[in-house]
Structure 1
């Protein structure tokens, strides 16, 4: 049979990051490409005990279909966690449990925008949002980053221009803390400015905060949601970086009317997030394990970040890079004449992998950029991998 596929599928590109995962298992390969948490951070013994408790006390519910908006007990626990962790004061009715935060990234643009509408994103930004925009036929206008995250002055100018053209963007998507892929953090004055602009132009904000708990240096900053007095911000969180990514449990915090629309869409996507994972997350918070595990993760990742930065300082001559206060990634910029995508073949031959920066742009990619992950590789692998990468860059530059 000759299959005919929809026009929608022509707009959906395979993930470069997912494709790179195959290189992790090549003999001798050092990969900085994936966004993988380190398995050393998985609380194995605690999760074994939690599973035993669940099977003993909640098996009938944990193995059954659940409510679309999530396990009530988990939502109740999340209200306390959000208040303690990010000073976000909400009720359970403000929370929806999702199948990873990626589900919310797919669904919320559909909730807020029609095909052909515009959303505002950062450049570069997380590939999961780019995939959602492509899949749902939503256009974007991109706001550049500097070392302080989204340039809100540029955003203000863009909003004025769009208003003059009678174009109203339907949402603003941002990762203000330890941005993926760049690692930058938006300072307080820009956060306030962003909220002021969203209120002035009546545009909802989607705040993605998967890395907020992973701070290794600098002062903790308030989330946009905690500063939001007008119901402008929809906040995304996940257990993937602070418990285990394989459980695929995330959560969305928003106004009830937003979650009502999301609920209708989620029914079509998966009926409900799996109950067992939700019970695990519930016990993870209820037993206080989350508050003990995060400092252990921070200790491991801080060391790895510092090793990578020191290796870059020692070995990298033909590039500049971000110096993130937290998260999992840093951003490398090569000389303008270089193309990181073309260089990837040489890098693979030298047994080192990265994600090309062009994967993180919806429009007008900067080809001389790359993202490096520092959380997954071993300490010596980080040092050796940076040496291989520096050698690759020197070879590529010499060949131009």
Structure 2
């Protein structure tokens, strides 16, 4: 007689899979025009320059590129990343950075280093779905702070922190996923002051900041003197170079950064050496800023194509925002509509989007939907909206 195997860990059984990933699997058919995935435009990748960087690394330093390396990251990539941050207004020493396997891993490392089961985490409502998964796996209690069209409400945050005593705030203040919103400078200052006064870690996630194509940049919360010793800034090369490289980084105070490095040693030893070295070579040999200017121009055209077609595509009474960058438009159907139910009809019409409900840690908005505008050309977007019109009407 065979004995039953031990059960899965409670966290593995209780944390659901990503609805976004499930939708992407359902819409993988080539005939589907998808506004669902947060996928950069593949035809805009600087593939030849990236290939040349890999070729040069393998030709010049094959032994180093194919060998184990340090957990903290390739020195050249850390230096190049620090230089980009410094140029953008945040003086950074290379030693202040830890290279990660995408910024998603940085979230996991922070959860490992900071959170005990039962600790409280504050998030925007709605927020990045994978962050909710990450904090749930850590056993955290997740509470949401009220947000409006400009992002989280600092006064509400102050009251919530006083009441709930959370350990950290997770925020995406620039071109937020899923809403595309950008937190104004005054609110960033107020958030930094709350963290200073209440004793709170801030995890500031910035994967989209270099994708601005309108308006003026807003300084990071990490640049505020009130929050400099308690803010972790996360970034990624996924949206500005290529997501398949799986390269991210975290900038953190020394004690926390060291704890994250130890957690990374336990997770994967280090981010792949050859990928780091090739990225560093690319940043030296190629002109990423010129490439990004081309990408931003294309993304602006695609956003404009989406916004131009939404009045016809969505039912009367719908509303949506107009982001100055990033990858997403946040829309809401009229009261009584359920975006999750309508998605099934949309897929039958070979078009897809992401329902907004899974992004909420608090009470969900069933009528909300996230529309990504970067993956398809303006002509494809126009066709996708024609299909969406049929599905929603």
Q: TM-score, normalised by structure 2?
A: 0.95
Listed one character per residue, the Cα deviations across residues 13-53 of structure 1 (whole Å, up to 9, x for unaligned) are 11111112224432521111111000122101111211111
**Alignment counterpart, residue 51 of structure 2, candidates 48, 52, 56:** 48
Answer whether contact 2:71 2:270 (CA < 8 A) is retained. Answer: yes
**Alignment counterpart, residue 69 of structure 1, candidates 67, 72, 84:** 72
TM alignment of 1:324-335, pairs within 5 A: 324-335=323-334
User: In the aligned structure 1, how far is the partner of 2:19 from the partner of 2:57?
Assistant: 37
Q: Secondary structure at the match of 2:209?
A: coil
Answer whether contact 1:81 1:285 (CA < 8 A) is retained. Answer: no
Matched, 1:120 2:122: yes
Instruction: Name the stretch that deviates more: 356-365 or 116-125.
Output: 356-365
Compared CA separation, residues 300 and 198, structure 1 to 2 (3 A): same
Q: Which residue does 2:34 correspond to in 1?
A: 31
Q: Which residue does 2:379 correspond to in 1?
A: 380
User: In the aligned structure 1, how far is the partner of 2:300 from the partner of 2:183?
Assistant: 20
User: In the aligned structure 2, how far is the partner of 1:284 from the partner of 1:152?
Assistant: 40
Q: Which residue does 2:231 correspond to in 1?
A: 233
TM alignment of 1:159-174, pairs within 5 A: 159-160=161-162, 162=163, 167-174=164-171
Answer whether contact 2:312 2:389 (CA < 8 A) is retained. Answer: no
Q: Per-residue deviation at 1:295?
A: 0.5
Instruction: Name the stretch that deviates more: 192-201 or 40-49.
Output: 40-49
User: In the aligned structure 2, how far is the partner of 1:186 from the partner of 1:350?
Assistant: 36
Instruction: Name the stretch that deviates more: 33-42 or 144-153.
Output: 144-153
Matched, 1:224 2:221: yes
Answer whether contact 1:214 1:298 (CA < 8 A) is retained. Answer: yes
User: In the aligned structure 2, how far is the partner of 1:184 from the partner of 1:150?
Assistant: 10
Answer whether contact 1:23 1:29 (CA < 8 A) is retained. Answer: no
User: In the aligned structure 2, how far is the partner of 1:337 from the partner of 1:110?
Assistant: 41
Listed one character per residue, the Cα deviations across residues 209-228 of structure 1 (whole Å, up to 9, x for unaligned) are 00000011111111112224
Q: Per-residue deviation at 1:294?
A: 0.9
Q: Secondary structure at the match of 2:146?
A: strand
Answer whether contact 2:314 2:333 (CA < 8 A) is retained. Answer: no
Report the number of matched residues.
388
Q: Secondary structure at the match of 2:167?
A: coil
Matched, 1:280 2:283: no
Answer whether contact 1:216 1:302 (CA < 8 A) is retained. Answer: yes
User: In the aligned structure 1, how far is the partner of 2:258 from the partner of 2:185?
Assistant: 31
TM alignment of 1:1-400, pairs within 5 A: 3=5, 4-84=7-87, 86-160=88-162, 162=163, 167-229=164-226, 230-318=228-316, 319-394=318-393
User: In the aligned structure 1, how far is the partner of 2:119 from the partner of 2:77?
Assistant: 35
Q: Which residue does 1:398 correspond to in 2?
A: none
Q: Per-residue deviation at 1:316?
A: 2.7
Compared CA separation, residues 355 and 250, structure 1 to 2 (3 A): same
User: In the aligned structure 2, how far is the partner of 1:23 from the partner of 1:295?
Assistant: 33
Answer whether contact 1:144 1:150 (CA < 8 A) is retained. Answer: yes
Cα RMSD of the aligned pairs, angstroms, is 1.5
Q: Per-residue deviation at 1:349?
A: 1.1
Q: Secondary structure at the match of 1:141?
A: strand
User: In the aligned structure 1, how far is the partner of 2:252 from the partner of 2:380?
Assistant: 41
Instruction: Name the stretch that deviates more: 380-389 or 348-357.
Output: 380-389
Q: Secondary structure at the match of 1:327?
A: coil
Q: Secondary structure at the match of 1:236?
A: strand
Q: Which 5+ residue runs of structure 2 have no aligned equivalent? A: none
Answer whether contact 1:36 1:376 (CA < 8 A) is retained. Answer: yes
Q: Per-residue deviation at 1:282?
A: 0.8
Q: Per-residue deviation at 1:264?
A: 1.1
Q: Secondary structure at the match of 2:210?
A: coil
User: In the aligned structure 1, how far is the partner of 2:26 from the partner of 2:300?
Assistant: 25
Answer whether contact 1:23 1:353 (CA < 8 A) is retained. Answer: no
User: In the aligned structure 1, how far is the partner of 2:115 from the partner of 2:225?
Assistant: 22
User: In the aligned structure 2, how far is the partner of 1:26 from the partner of 1:74?
Assistant: 37
